[in-house]
Structure 1
Amino acid sequence: MSNIEIEYCVPCGYLDRALDLQRAVLQNFGRTVDRAALVTGEAGVLQVRVDGEAVWDIADDEYDVDEVVRRVKQAL
């Protein structure tokens, strides 16, 4: 099983977005992942990693929960 980490910028107020991503990941893959953890960060970060490998980053991509779910699915 896989580990998913959602790192989010606390000063930027990305907690709500991180929670939305976590909820979507757990709803779609809850039985096939060991954990979907929120990790606090800074400097504008909002990134999703599967087993340590970045699959989505707000620095490179538009915020779209459905796209994040697709990328997590591909990585799993």
Structure 2
Amino acid sequence: MSSGAPLPRVTITYCTQCRWLLRAAWFAQELLSTFHRELGEVALRPATGGVFTVEVDGELLWDRAERRGFPEITVLKQLVRDRVAPDKPLGHSDAKAAAGASDAAAQDGPADADPPADDLPADDALAADGG
């Protein structure tokens, strides 16, 4: 960190109308826990219109609309790692990639399905009424 070069910034843009703040905060916490030495910051940017994107220094890594769903956390960590610390091992996250996580990059089912985490609230009811 003493090199003087600024560390990368991750920006998670989330829809406030869809109530995706908790999901965005959970992704931010996971990224900060994994890349605590490699990232300068993780910013949460509120938006509207069903937006959920993840960027590193302005480079789009994930767009919920384009990918038709939210990322699995292991996939998101791999995408961030590839940009900020390509040589960093991710342990079990890398093992999943070798077993074919590219097929699981976007979840099956509705575009607003939750990532598999018991501590996240389901948004299905909110999405069903358009809110």
CA distance in 1 between partners of 2:62 and 2:8 (Å): 16
Structure 2: gaps spanning 5 or more residues: 1-6, 85-131
- Structure 1 runs, 4 residues or longer, greater than 2 Å off: none
**What is the CA distance between 1:60 and its match in structure 2?**
2.2
CA–CA distance in 1 between the matches of 2:81 and 2:22?
A: 22
| Counterpart residue number, 2:79 | 71
Provide the C-alpha distance between the structure 1 equivalents of 2:51 and 2:73, rounded to a whole number of angstroms. 16
Name whichever structure is richer in strand by fraction: 1
Matched length: 76
- Structure showing greater radius of gyration is 2
Contact 1:4–1:37 (Cα < 8 Å) also in 2: yes
1:4 corresponds to: 10
Rounded Cα–Cα distance in structure 2 between residues aligned with 1:73 and 1:57: 17
CA distance in 1, matches of 2:41, 2:47: 18
Q: Report if aligned partners of 1:2, 1:34 keep a CA contact under 8 Å in 2.
A: yes
Give me the whole-angstrom Cα distance separating, in 2, the residues matched to 1:26 and 1:14.
Answer: 18
Q: How do 1:11-22 and structure 2 match up within 5 A?
A: 11-22=17-28
Q: Tell which has more relative contact order, 1 or 2 (C-alpha 8 A, sep 6+).
A: 1
Write the deviation string for residues 25-69 of structure 1: whole angstroms up to 9, x where unpaired: 101111111100101111111111000111011112232222111
Give the percent of matched residue pairs that are identical in Structure 1 and Structure 2.
30
Q: Which amino acid aligns with 1:70?
A: Q
Q: Is the 8 A contact 1:2 1:50 kept in 2?
A: yes
DSSP-derived class of the 2:40 partner: strand
TM-score (norm 2): 0.55
CA RMSD of superposed structures (Å):
1.0
The one-letter code matched in structure 1 to 2:42 is A
